[in-house]
A and B are shown apart, each in its own frame.
Chain A
Amino acid sequence: MTMEVTDSAPVPAAGRPQRVRELAAERIRLRGPLLPILHAVQEEFGWISQTDIPVIADVLNLSVAEVHGVVTFYRDFRRDPAGRITVRICQAEACRSVGAVELGEHARRSTGAGFGETTADGRLTVDEVFCLGNCALGPAVQVGDKVHGRVTPARLDAILGEAR
């Protein structure tokens, strides 16, 4: 965390601040617009850059600290780019009862990426999730937008093989 303070200010990608400003301005009339704006930015760019935060704060007339505080509170908001495909393995109780912990360990062995990490080739980001709402057909795994039920280690390898 202290790294962010001592690092030199990041330089925004060309055109990005303007686009972030547009996305924020389009939603400013909503009540409580900050989360919808952050979702929109992440949807378009895949992550929320440190350079987006002052732009959003400016549009909403909030302090940079307030926006930073919200971005860092929520698990969904990524603060660095993810791999091309995100794999989320449910680790909650219902999936644990049918082998989700072992499935997570298998994923780490077969991809080399633990939860929250991206594979060396930048293709897959592996993460844990607490409940996809598929508790009667666990273990549940989400690859991109698609949820798979009753995922065995062998099936996970097959699904990831196709995804890559």
Chain B
Amino acid sequence: MTRVFVSRDLAAKSVGADEVAERIAAAARTAGADVEVVRTGTRGMLWLEPLVEVETPEGRVGYGPVAPEEVDGLVAAGLLDGAGRSEGAYLGPVEELPWMKRQQRLTFGRVGVVDPRSATEYEEHDGLQGLRRALTMTPAEVVEEVVDSGLRGRGGAGFPTGIKWRTVLGAEDELKFVCCNADEGDSGTFADRMLIEGDPFVLIEGMTIAAYAVGASEGYVYLRSEYPDAIEALTAAIVTARDRGWLGEDILGSGLSFDLQIRVGAGAYICGEETSMLESLEGKRGMVRAKPPIPALEGLFGKPTVVNNVLSLATIPTILANGAAAYAAYGVGRSLGTSVFQLGGNVARGGIVETAFGITLGELVNDFGGGSASGQPVRAVQVGGPLGAYLPVEQFDLPMDYEAFAAAGAMVGHGGIVVFDESVDMAAMARFAFQFCAEESCGKCTPCRVGAVRGVETIDRITAGVDRAENLVLLDDLCDLMTDGSLCAMGGLTPLPVRSAVRHFGKDFGS
């Protein structure tokens, strides 16, 4: 039997992967060929989607992008045997493509490779090794392993994950929680979604290790309502995990009890902020809490709570399976391990790239991304989401490193990179940053709630040429106030895109 792989990831489906999978199955039936179409996650080479891979003795051979109407022709040319080298869509062995070969895929090692619904395939591809090893250690040893790995929170803030766990482990309480923040609302970020759709068991395994390490018995995944495919994938995986004894009572015969629930958000961006997420999980308006107390001590329902991002938790199994040193061997300075960079926007070859920290912005945008999709020169990139800085091409030699980015007045954030070509109006983008903040502010603190509205008005006056110099000073002052006076990152970081736009692209503001 020949196995043919087609992604069921939302991005692949958005350009016709379902239709391609159906056509292949139909063409195989017509040809009387013994073919199984396996639906995987995406490899993350999104410009090649729908990507079709065929299992051959030489490995998986790829074809992409394949439009539904091209399927019959490709099958006639020998697709089901991995043939058809003369066809335009033929890519050769997928693992040998430069885009794949240059990466170090630790967290995303299985995504695009396995059937995300298959617990058997998960185990066959090194799944559960991290959990099995963790269960042979004491909780404190697991926590120290995570500390030693250097893993920092992948949600954006970059706080050391192990330190957070140490605090929760040290908090004495009968009830503790592990919460996965899967409210990935930032434009240009899709790695959480891709991971949950492409390898949901790894998140379950990571959360279970976290629960064991800190002594938690219940876990919640706060998932965006905008991601129905991810909700479906994780729901199915949780059911399977319970059936297999990977969740519930006496996990893998270790005596550990831990169970997991999904909670679906309701379209509020601010709930990506950890304290807003906790309020929302409790069934309230998603308004930020002042810290202290920190969630590690008083989190969900006032109990000690680990709050980690999807990718942080999904990286834990790798760290436990291979050891902290193996993970920390990747990276630079205090940015250790690998990060999942997401290339989006106006980019020729968009997708995800997992490499060690230290790769430069230019390598990502030009070497991997191939420049803009439009063919016009790249003018700006926004790194780290809507609250991240806009950087000009002059800064493309910046290495992906939390400290190096901070020193340049920017942030790595969650590694999302959005590319803009020459047609971009940076004053309009700065205005949008304020507009977005005004729209999505929880309203609890004045600098964010009112400051963002004032910001839109001030930029409008600047671009209209009304008292331009004075209003630029006012804008600067407003940005200072929001940075210093906001309760959370929403108001505190909105000045980042605004100021970087003014600094690097001043002529768009009418100078």
A interface vs B, CB < 8 Å? 30-36, 38-39, 60, 66, 69-70, 73-77, 90, 92-98, 129-138, 140, 145-150
Contacts and interface: CB of A to CB of B under 8 A. Distances in A.
Contacts of A73: 268, 285-286
A81 B187 CA distance: 28
A36 B350 contact: no
Nearest to A33: B283
B282 interface: yes
Nearest to A136: B350
A93 B432 contact: yes
Contacts of B46: 136-137
Given A33-B283, A76-B225, A98-B345, A93 B188 contact: yes
Given A33-B283, A35-B264, A145 B228 contact: yes
A135 B263 CA distance: 24
B299 interface: no
Contact of B345 (A34, A36, A138, A146): A138
Contacts of B189: 131, 133, 135
11 contacts: A35-B265, A66-B284, A70-B285, A75-B268, A93-B345, A94-B418, A97-B346, A133-B11, A134-B14, A137-B46, A147-B13
Nearest to A132: B226
A94 B345 contact: yes
Interface in B154-200: 184-190, 192-194
A137 B386 contact: no
Given A95-B187, A133-B226, 15 more contacts: A30-B261, A31-B282, A32-B283, A34-B283, A36-B263, A73-B268, A90-B187, A93-B386, A93-B432, A133-B227, A136-B347, A136-B351, A137-B350, A145-B228, A148-B14
Interface string B379-396: 000100010000000000
A33 B301 CA distance: 13
Interface residues on B, range: 35 or more
Given A35-B283, A149-B15, A134 B190 contact: yes
A130 B265 CA distance: 14
Given A39-B266, A73-B286, A137-B15, A130 B345 contact: no
B10 interface: yes
Residue among B193, B268, B281, B344 having the largest count of chain A Cβ atoms under 10 Å: B344
A97 B263 CA distance: 32
Contacts of B418: 93-94, 97, 135
B373 interface: yes
Contact of B382 (A74, A76, A93): A93
B14 to A, nearest CB: 3
Contacts of B190: 133-136
Interface of B: 10-11, 13-15, 46-47, 49, 184-190, 192-194, 218, 224-228, 261, 263-269, 280-286, 300-301, 342-347, 350-351, 373-374, 382, 386, 416, 418-421, 424, 429, 432, 436, 440
A159 to B, nearest CB: 11
Closest 4 CB pairs of A and B: A136-B350, A135-B344, A92-B187, A34-B283
Contacts of B14: 134, 137, 140, 147-150
B345 A74 contact: no
Contacts of A38: 266
A138 B46 CA distance: 11
Contacts of B11: 133-134, 136-137, 149
A95 B156 CA distance: 21
Among A96, A145, A146, the most chain B Cβ lie within 10 Å of the Cβ of A96
A97 B386 contact: no
Contact of A131 (B187, B282, B300): B187
B386 A69 contact: no
Contacts of B342: 135-136
A130 B185 contact: yes
B345 A35 contact: no
B222 to A, nearest CB: 10
A12 B11 CA distance: 41
A36 B374 CA distance: 43
Contacts of B344: 94, 135-136, 138
Which among A35, A75, A129, A149 has the highest number of chain B CB atoms within 10 Å? A35
A98 B267 contact: no
B9 to A, nearest CB: 10
Given A92-B187, A137-B15, A149-B14, A97 B264 contact: no
Nearest to A141: B14
